Amino acid sequence: MCRSALLAGLLVSLTFIIYGPCLHGSFLWDDDAHVSHNTTLTTLTGLHDIWFKPGAVQQYYPVTYTAFWIQYHLWGLHPLGYHIVNVLLHGCDAILFWMLLESLGISGAWIAAWLFAWHPVMVESVAWISELKNTLSTFFYLISVLCLVKSEQSESGEGWLYGISFLSFLAALLSKSVTATLPVSFLVIGMWMNGGFSKNRILKLLPFLGTGCGIGVFTLHMEHEMFGALRHVRDFSFLERVLLASRNIWFYIGKLIDPSPLVFIYPRWSIAPPYLALYLYPIAILALAGLLMYGGRWWGKFPFACFLFFVITLGPALGFTNFYPMRFSFVADHFQYLASFGLFALAGWSLSALLDLLQNRQLSIPGVFILLLIGANLALATNRQACTYSDSLSLWQHTLNFNPDSAIVHHNLGIALLDHQEWNSAVAHLRTAEALDPTFPQTHLALAYLALHANRREDALHHYKEAIRLGISDPVVLRDYAALHEKKPR
């Protein structure tokens, strides 16, 4: 117990050192809506609205926004406190992951934990303040699963463990609703590992399934009706969605194996006829699944269970339904924060088996050296990636290097340059953003303000009109447009 506590403390401490460059980073994209310009964080009335007034904040994740509310009243608008909480939660997630794998009797739990803690794909979720919803929801998710496992393993105390598990699951859902996949994963993987469905397990998970479905549907409704996912993302046929999901799965697997380069917004690939090359992705997925199932006679059922968990947990982000970020990209590093546990568990199990084999052949020292080399390489890559999150200008310039044809990247780089009063460069990037995507209202709004600054009223009126036509309904914007229109010469 003492040794485990020491190792856990060492893991968290080293994680803080690795993530050091982002601790003094500033607020980034969407952090204004979540924290820095979020007036609901300032009052008790705002806290009430977070819970009981859907639409008061960007997404209905009241546990996450309550955490932001508490932090705001502890350290105001100093980003350091928010970054410390995110890194601490990430370290705790790694420890809970370790504990869960050990409770299931899976070897290599400690290897899987440090792979998760130090892998550079996790940087986006940890260094970006807005993604507290990822680190926090995963924290509650792991507590919920751990208590479920303990309740099944324990003859006494099962009731209170089950109660803590359900409450933790509810907290996870209200932190980020993608955690709704928990009961499905638990059922399907349990069926595969144990050779069939357990009636008792199904009955115990019914409240989880009902609650998860309810909150998931509500989140989908909010995404479609309030945030315009259906308006801003074109509808895809079922075949196109299957092809998209298959390609996304391979993208995420590839990033865990070879994370270079990591990009804040990845290029949005085309899903359009002819589909010949795209058919390779679902065929390859089926081939991999078949191999893992058939190979179970040699290496057991665990690898396929890990793959199942990975795919099921990624499900909400694979593109089977529209969500707003699909306007810019079909994938993002933070989408696989939770799902990655499946492949990290498999990697830890595999490396542990390799270590055992090497030890039997009296090659344990080289094996440990290889593990240390992998760990050091991941730590350095994560530390380097964390540097890109120091401020908005660094983040968007880095993103533009790998995604030069993205309207949203040019837009956000233009806004960052405006903050640094680099007017000419800002205008150039905003004009490029307009040319790449003339339907993005925020670009027209930014160009309207710039036109006003340059005393070009006709240009300002044009861009105000376009921004309003494309969905901007902010009363301040409408008032400014009306006032400018009144001043227009007759």
Identify the DSSP state of 176: -
Token pair 């350091």 is found at: 80
Do 79 and 155 lie in a common domain?
A: yes
Asked if residue 397 belongs to a domain, the reply is no
Which pLDDT does position 355 carry in this prediction? Answer: 78
**Half-sphere exposure for 71 (CA within 13 Å, toward CB):** 23
Do 427 and 311 lie in a common domain?
A: no
Token pair 């939660």 is found at: 89
Do 381 and 255 lie in a common domain?
A: yes
Asked if residue 398 belongs to a domain, the reply is no
Which pLDDT does position 231 carry in this prediction? Answer: 58
In order of 67, 168, 181, the CA distances from 213 in angstroms are 24, 16, 9
Do 428 and 279 lie in a common domain?
A: no
Task: Measure the CA dihedral 153/159/161/162, to 10°.
Answer: 90
What domain range is 416 assigned to? 404-486
For 2, the token pair is: 């003492």
Do 315 and 361 lie in a common domain?
A: yes
Do 356 and 416 lie in a common domain?
A: no
Per-residue b or e along 297-336, where b marks 16 or more CB atoms closer than 10 Å to that residue's CB: eeeebbbbbbbbbbbbbbbbbbbebbbbbbbbbbbbbbbb
Would you say 281 and 403 are in contact if contact means Cβ atoms under 8 Å apart? no
For 111, the token pair is: 């290897």
Would you say 119 and 340 are in contact if contact means Cβ atoms under 8 Å apart? yes
Tell me phi and psi for residue 213, to 5 degrees.
Answer: -65, -45
- Tell me the three state secondary structure of residue 322: coil
Which pLDDT does position 159 carry in this prediction? Answer: 77
Do 335 and 468 lie in a common domain?
A: no
Asked if residue 208 belongs to a domain, the reply is yes
**Among candidates 141, 140, 135, 139, which has minimal Cα distance to 122?**
135
pLDDT, mean of each 10-residue run, the chain (490 residues): 80 91 88 89 92 86 94 93 95 94 89 93 94 95 91 73 91 93 85 70 86 84 61 75 92 92 90 80 91 81 89 90 84 94 93 76 66 85 92 92 93 90 88 90 87 82 83 77 67
Distance from C-alpha of 267 to C-alpha of 137, rounded to nearest angstrom: 27
Tell me the pLDDT tens digit for each residue of 35-80.
Answer: 988 999 999 999 999 998 888 888 889 999 999 999 999 999 999 9
How many structural domains are present in the chain?
2
Which pLDDT does position 429 carry in this prediction? Answer: 92
The enclosing domain of 455 has a CATH number of 1.25.40.10
Would you say 146 and 120 are in contact if contact means Cβ atoms under 8 Å apart? no
Do 332 and 452 lie in a common domain?
A: no
Asked if residue 396 belongs to a domain, the reply is no
Q: End of a domain among 342, 357, 387?
A: 387
Q: End of a domain among 387, 412, 447?
A: 387
Q: What angle do CA 150, 151, 156 make, to 5 degrees?
A: 110
Do 425 and 352 lie in a common domain?
A: no
Do 155 and 280 lie in a common domain?
A: yes
Asked if residue 100 belongs to a domain, the reply is yes
Do 253 and 326 lie in a common domain?
A: yes
Asked if residue 81 belongs to a domain, the reply is yes
Element (H, E) at 238: helix 238-257
